[in-house]
A and B are shown apart, each in its own frame.
Chain A
Amino acid sequence: MNNIEEKVAGCFGSVFPGLGAEDLPQASEATVAAWDSVAQVTLLSAISEEFGLDFEFEDFERLVSYSLIVEYLESKLHHG
């Protein structure tokens, strides 16, 4: 697990405390029952705070899984 994944995992742990580390790679809006619109805003706000970046309106609709979020952050932080 790299640094980005570790930090994202920490945010997932804060917002979805019942989610195990082994479930993270598959975690998405469809697989995590508690992942509703409020949780989505809370999760991205926690990640925004952790990484010091702002998400766009579309990001709130698009970043609906652990892997999409990690992929997005890697792209943004390494290439952006």
Chain B
Amino acid sequence: MTLNKALALINSRKGKSGDAIYYLACGFEPLHLTTLLRAHLLERLPDDKNVEVQCGVYGDLRGNIESAARRAATACAVVLEWSDLDPRLGLRSSGGWSNEAKADLIANCIERYTHLEAAIVALAARMPVALAPPSLPLPPIGNTIRAQSSVLELELEQQLAAFLLRMARVSGVRVVERSRISSAAAALDARMELIAGFPYTVPFASALAASLVDVLCQPAPKKGLITDLDGTLWSGIAGEIGVDAVSWSQEHHTQTHGLYQQMLGHLASCGVLLAACSKNEMTTAEAALARKDLFLNAGSLFPVCANWGPKSASVGRILETWNIAADAVVFIDDSPMELDEVERAYPGVTCLAFPGKDPAAVWNLLGRLRDLFGKPELMEEDRLRQSSIRVSAQVREMAADGGSAEFLRTLEGTVTLAWQVDKADKRPLELINKTNQFNLNGLRMGESEWQRLLERNDTIVAVVSYQDKFGPLGKIAVLVGSQAGRKVKVSHWVMSCRAFSRRVEHHMLDSLFRHCDAEEIAFAFAKTEKNQPLREFFAAAGIRSSDDGAWRISRKDFLSSCGVLPHATPDEA
């Protein structure tokens, strides 16, 4: 994006309301980076929204980070440069590059990293932080020619790598990938640095801004991947050449399929749901998947749909089993015809071709999958998702068969409500921001808004965990509200689709009435495109709209409608 284009975009949004505030913390003059960051953010927002980018003062990165932590910003971009660690590593200093200065410089950087680390950790507790490592070249102070790395440079790089590693392990900190930005354009504009204190060329500043926005405004990750088998998971048609003849190895020149299998195994370990959809005999598919040399644990494919019907029908069954929306799913097949058929039936599904004969294209596909499924950090619930999905499908099936109440009691379930929320726990906010089906109103919330909400005295938050004889589901629901007298108003209520059909929602309301000694609960309900499951629960539980538009239920009505609840609710924290 050019500077002129960025300015034009910003001017086109003048007067639009609903400013989101982002903070840019850097030690140089932010100048064009502010403009370009704002423009790239605007590109991600609806046309009627605006963005404000706030900045700090020149030459004080640490102070600016501390200042950001005191703001009510949505997120913060921290841009580190070598001169923030020691001014002698920039163009505007005259501190000298003698050997004594170099030793002092190394020591100085260590101390500066310690201070920055403390400031960034405190900031990340308040809002998401994108941390961009230095992009500018070091001054030419090595004793070697430029083609040869000097010990000093390597030592500085080592310090930096250790710092970034520590930062990447801090919840809420997202380190910007360095080589991707630096390959986009030459970074240093020496003239502008000396004239105005802004060190970047405009093309580089635009690439940096785009990367910061990519990292801060990540789309919701996909949840499930449905893969074809013949020609995709392996090379060859198992039904024709036999299950022992299909291949996925370097030896058979079919390594692209082996890479794909390894990628699926990696995604499964990150909590991505996997299923197979193949035009095949079930016995053939099962026999091929039983091969011991598969790079993927075949047990992580659930369900496996192998039949001769349209693939869209199999995809439909898989979506039903997983109980997730089509737009959270990726479908991969080597046949353009099958991709087209599924895409027509489920326009929300991301359909991708498997280009098995083209190694470069397969490599790009694996990168694309990383982007589609990647998330800022993994949680315990991601690990549990794979194992719980089979049980959840069984529970739904058996509950639907009519034996609901008795069956649920046999699960020996425990619903635990935590009323004291750990502010550093990212899971409640993740649930609020990614749950669609059992969602009171579809309202999303930023990290800083969440933190402010937790600090209010009248806020009630319940984070709900569930486990039964099949194992834990982890934290699966969140309810947020406020209390005035014996009336509770619920502003957010979400529950993971993995916990459906267990009457966890009934337990939550029952506990809320008891915990708050409430007579009535009102809900800030709004219909969304996807919250049909919540609406069905409201109808069944007798939660109805009042004359004033609010949705309410009294304690008496709730108790008379909910019956005996099936699970244990241990002493609530």
Contact = CB atoms under 8 A, between A and B. Distances in A.
Contacts of B195: 41, 57, 60
Interface stretch (A10-18, A22-30, A66-74): A10-18
A6 interface: no
B31 A50 contact: no
A77 interface: no
Interface size class of B (residues with CB under 8 A): 10 to 19
Interface in B1-47: 2-4, 7-8, 11, 14, 31-32, 35
B3 A45 contact: yes
Contact of B4 (A14, A41, A60): A14
Contacts of B192: 41, 45
Main secondary structure of the interface of A (DSSP, over half): helix
A54 interface: yes
B3 A41 contact: no
Nearest to B12: A17
A42 B35 contact: yes
A6 B197 CA distance: 30
B191 interface: yes
Given A17-B14, A50-B4, A41 B31 contact: yes
Interface string A34-51: 000010011001100110
Contact of A45 (B11, B14, B194, B202): B202
Given A42-B32, A45-B32, A15 B7 contact: yes
B4 A49 contact: yes
B32 to A, nearest CB: 6
B32 A17 contact: no
A49 B202 contact: yes
Nearest to B198: A41
A57 B198 contact: no
Interface in B192-229: 192, 194-196, 198, 202
Contacts of A11: 4
A15 B10 CA distance: 10
Given A14-B11, A17-B14, A54-B191, A38 B4 contact: no
Which of B3, B35, B191 has most chain A Cβ within 10 Å? B3
A41 B194 CA distance: 12
Contacts of B32: 42, 45
Nearest to A41: B196
Contacts of A15: 7
A42 B194 contact: no
A80 to B, nearest CB: 18
Contacts of B31: 38, 41-42
A60 B195 CA distance: 8
Contacts of B14: 17
A12 to B, nearest CB: 11
Contacts of A60: 195-196
Nearest to B203: A49
A14 B31 CA distance: 15
Contacts of A17: 11, 14
Contacts of A57: 191, 194-195
Interface in B96-135: none
A14 B7 contact: yes
A14 B8 contact: yes
Contacts of B8: 14
Contact of A49 (B2, B191, B196): B2
A60 B31 CA distance: 15
B221 to A, nearest CB: 36
Contacts of A42: 3, 7, 31-32, 35
A15 B7 CA distance: 7
B11 A49 contact: no
B7 A46 contact: yes
A11 B8 CA distance: 9
B198 A46 contact: no
A60 to B, nearest CB: 6
A60 B2 CA distance: 20
B12 to A, nearest CB: 10
29 contacts: A10-B4, A11-B4, A13-B11, A14-B4, A14-B7, A14-B8, A17-B11, A41-B31, A41-B195, A41-B196, A41-B198, A42-B3, A42-B7, A42-B31, A42-B32, A45-B3, A45-B32, A45-B192, A45-B202, A46-B3, A46-B7, A49-B2, A49-B202, A50-B4, A54-B191, A57-B191, A57-B194, A57-B195, A60-B195
Interface of B: 2-4, 7-8, 11, 14, 31-32, 35, 191-192, 194-196, 198, 202
Given A14-B8, A42-B35, A49-B2, 12 more contacts: A10-B4, A13-B11, A14-B11, A15-B7, A38-B31, A41-B31, A41-B195, A42-B32, A46-B4, A54-B191, A60-B195, A60-B196
Closest 10 CB pairs of A and B: A14-B7, A17-B11, A41-B196, A49-B3, A46-B4, A57-B195, A46-B3, A49-B2, A45-B3, A60-B195
